[in-house]
Amino acid sequence: MALLFMSSAWDNDTWLNRTRAIDGNIDLRGWPDMGNVDDIRYAMVWKPPAGELAKLPNLQVIFSLGAGVDHIFQDPDLPDCPVVRTVDENLTMRMSEYVVLHVLMHHRQVRRYDTQQAAKVWQGHIQAGADEVRIGVLGMGVLGSDAARKLAVLGFKVAGWSNTRKSVDGVESFAGQSELKAFLNRTDILVSLLPLTPDTKGFINRDLLRELARDGEGAGPVLINTGRGGVQVEADILAALEADELQAATLDVFETEPLPEASALWSHPRVTVTPHNSADSDPRALCGSVLEQIHRFEAGKPLENQVDRARYY
């Protein structure tokens, strides 16, 4: 039995060394040096090059080294075997840190005070309390639910929207298309943690942004997208900012990554750009999770966090 690490984006040594440090006996391969492909039963992947997984005739499980799996499903030759995604406390903690940080940054007008400091201006501005600000989280899965819960603890009025209704302490739940408008109409700061699927592609567009609340006491409307770039229409975000339909945005993910130098988002005074690193996959945490799942599978136990191929997430 061999385990293959395959990524077109990450360096082999870090992942291979970490996996070997946990299990020195495992037959571990690093793409593109796959050796005899007949031996490979498991692949842990991030952005695998299209067509490469199809070269493994005995592949039994594909492990995504991230919470998202769109990077796997874009392969037209994807083998028909279970796909398992990352659900990991370390990743969840990092994502919630990012969401809370950027909600607070907009709420407490941090960029405005940075500009004032550069100009040596001593001037305070009206500051709403957290209990006057309505946050809406699109996508109430593992990551969205944790971030929503932590924002509610800070005192924000938090709601979440997802396919199915959720029960999270202190968080109002909206579900399905029929409740989307009501959810947006009560939202000052919109946080997206939606996966990229055929249903969510281009979902955050001008029409959606126009539905956000405009009668808030504090920051808003504000967009924070840290899910996937394909879920947003960047031309619409820029147009909404110009039309003052959107006050500010924090974007960690983009339609094209890395964000092209020519993108107007880079230098927009009300946009904060980060390089898709709100919740990095940490090899120290994730290699152990993959090995644990392999042990479970080999012992005849069911895989955890298997992706439903029909839903794409």
Show which residues are catalytic: 228, 276
Of the residues 48, 68, 136, 220, which one makes contact with ligand OXD according to CB under 6 A:
68
Residues contacting ligand NDP: total by CB under 6 A: 30
Contact partners, residue 178, CB within 8 Å, separation at least 6: none
The residue written with tokens 């600000």 in the block is 133
The residue written with tokens 């305070």 in the block is 124
Of the residues 62, 83, 143, 251, which one makes contact with ligand NDP according to CB under 6 A:
143
Rounded CA-CA distance 84/65 in Å is 9
Comparing CB distances to ligand NDP, the nearer of 148 and 241 is 148
To ligand NDP, the closest distance from the beta carbon of 243 in angstroms equals: 26
To ligand NDP, the closest distance from the beta carbon of 307 in angstroms equals: 8
Contact string 148-177 vs ligand NDP (x = CB under 6 A): --------------xxx-------------
Contact string 227-266 vs ligand NDP (x = CB under 6 A): xx-----------------------xx-------------
Q: What is the DSSP string of 212-265?
A: S-S--SSS-SEEEE-S-GGGB-HHHHHHHHHTTS--EEEES--SSSSPPTT-TT
Contact partners, residue 271, CB within 8 Å, separation at least 6: 241, 248, 249, 250, 251, 265
Residue (of 271, 258, 207) closest to 229 by Cα position: 258
Which of these ranges, 61-69, 241-249, 264-272, 283-291, lies near ligand OXD under the rule CB under 6 A? Answer: 61-69
Q: What is the dihedral of CA 303, 304, 308, 313, to 10 degrees?
A: -140
To ligand OXD, the closest distance from the beta carbon of 207 in angstroms equals: 26
Residue 278 found at the interface with ligand NDP (CB under 6 A): yes
Residues 156-185 binding ligand OXD (CB under 6 A) are: none
Which class for 119: exposed (0-12), middle (13-18), buried (19 or more C-beta within 10 A)? exposed
Residue 281 found at the interface with ligand OXD (CB under 6 A): yes
Which class for 131: exposed (0-12), middle (13-18), buried (19 or more C-beta within 10 A)? exposed
Comparing CB distances to ligand OXD, the nearer of 67 and 84 is 67
Rounded CA-CA distance 188/137 in Å is 11
Residue 226 binding result from ligand OXD, ligand NDP, none, given CB thresholds of 5 to 8 Å by partner type: ligand NDP
Which of these ranges, 9-17, 39-47, 52-60, 65-73, lies near ligand NDP under the rule CB under 6 A? Answer: 65-73
Residues that bind ligand OXD (CB under 6 A): 66-68, 279, 281
